[in-house]
Amino acid sequence: MGTGEVFDHCDRELQLAVWHGRLHILAQTDPEHVMHKTSIDLPLQTRDAMARLLNARLADTIDLSLQIKQAHWNVKGPNFIALHELFDRLHGEAEAYYDDIAERVTALGGTAYGTSKTVAENSTLPDYPANITAGLDHVKALAASYAALGKVVRADIETAAGAGDADTADLFTGLSRGLDKTLWFLEAHLQAKA
């Protein structure tokens, strides 16, 4: 089954979003994609498209949580304990993000794809540099990932709202707010004048 066939049942607006790279994750990971029955009163094509969109962000948020742990384990320097503890707190927040996303996917009747292989193949975040140790280098790398994820999540809010799924749009709105707040915390470390 080709990518176009996977999405034939989507309405025209959602097809455009798919073809612009927004909802491609399941075409790559599960050509036998099935939606489970649910009593949620959204049309099947909306639930399907939203499950795909949510799975894309699931890969990103799991990747973000792993990047944060990489920083947590390997940070060094004069601000070690403050950053080590901050990164641990941020990891907990990221876990809550991806858990909420995965549960929304399954509530809509989809399957949440959260394996390490799926995440590695589908995350849109910048690759995290494995060889850094300095505290501010970790802060810069994480800030870049938070900014990238925040940008796509803001677009996802519009996509979900346009599809008529207010609950998924609301989930993305809360995620966007949390990402932006954390980005502020990270960038505050970088904005001080020496």
Give the pLDDT score at 174. Answer: 98
Closest CA to 178 of 63, 65, 86, 97: 97
Confidence class of residue 33 from pLDDT cuts 50, 70 and 90?
confident
Distance CA 15, CA 13 (A): 5
Give the pLDDT score at 32. Answer: 63
Confidence class of residue 29 from pLDDT cuts 50, 70 and 90?
very low
Under 8 Å between Cβ of 92 and 64: no
pLDDT digits (tens, 9 = 90+) for 177-192: 999 999 999 999 999 7
Q: In this model, does residue 28 exceed pLDDT 50?
A: no
Give the pLDDT score at 66. Answer: 98
- Give the Å distances, CA to CA, from 18 to 22, 24, 171, 189: 5, 6, 20, 37
Closest CA to 173 of 191, 156, 190, 149: 156
Q: In this model, does residue 69 exceed pLDDT 90?
A: yes
Domains and CATH numbers, the chain: 39-191 (1.20.1260.10)
DSSP assigned state of 152: H
Q: In this model, does residue 43 exceed pLDDT 60?
A: yes
Under 8 Å between Cβ of 96 and 175: no
With pLDDT > 70 as the criterion, what percentage of the chain qualifies? Answer: 82
What is the mean predicted confidence (pLDDT) over 57-69?
A: 98
pLDDT digits (tens, 9 = 90+) for 103-150: 999 999 999 999 999 999 999 999 999 999 999 999 999 999 999 999
Under 8 Å between Cβ of 79 and 135: yes
Burial class of residue 113 (count of CB atoms within 10 Å of its CB; 0-12, 13-18, 19+): buried
